[in-house]
Amino acid sequence: MLIPLAALVLRPWELGAAGVWQSLTDPRVLAALRLSFGAAALAAAINLPFGLLIAWVMTRYRFPGRRLADALIDMPLALPTAVAGISLTALFAPKGWIGALLVPLGVKVAYTPLGVLVALVFVGLPFVVRTLEPVMLDLPAEAEEAAATLGATRLQTLCRVVLPALAPSLLTGFAAALARGVGEYGSVIFIAGNMPMVSEIAPLLIVIRLEQFDYAGAAALGLAMLLLSFLLLLALNRGQHRLARHLA
């Protein structure tokens, strides 16, 4: 594990400090990084309420087809990423089942940054749901019952009893979905359109540089993604620990 990381850290400096800086400040690189990290963060944020809702239903209710629904939650993890990307493109293309309904509304999903967001929401949702489910199963029902006895509404119980207890797990699920989204490749490239400065993601740009035998430039971009991801996850981890201490 350390050898590949060492190679990733050392290889960019073949360009020299000025070369690394020039490589990373290229407008095309900056646009790709903004799209990858911005779309991943937005997708993870979107997945929080939906993941919470799905986890709540799956842990608190019994209904026909529950096992099928439980299996469908893991479908993005089981599908090869290329298959997921092709499927999403077929659905959201202008002539696809969903895309054809959105075209009259002036909404274009496939081959746009919105397509990137849709793909990242799809692949990131299971991480939020599966992170929250065991915590919800361990939540004592007595606290909710006591709140109801004291006259709290369901919304008040959710906001003042359930969500504070789930806050560290929500951050963990957000971090997991964010990490998956930043590095996602296969499910994104088919629906993104891969237009430079518009819908080109950073992992694709790394592949392009490798195909051009620009190994040092590819390593520089990979190192930048690694450092940015580390800083984001470090900040989220610190926030999780502070929340846990506050709630203890």
pLDDT tens digits along 185-198: 989 999 998 899 99
The average pLDDT across 24-39 equals 94
pLDDT tens-digit readout, 60-99 = 888 888 889 999 999 998 888 889 999 999 999 999 999 9
Q: For position 115, what pLDDT does the model report?
A: 94
pLDDT at residue 2 in the model: 66
Instruction: Mention the CATH class of domain 15-247.
Output: mainly alpha
Which pTM was predicted?
A: 0.90
Residues in the chain: 248
- Cα 49 off chain centre by: 13
What are the pLDDT digits (tens) for 98-135?
999 999 999 999 999 999 999 999 999 999 999 999 98
Spatial distance between the Cα atoms of 6 and 115, rounded to a whole number of angstroms: 34
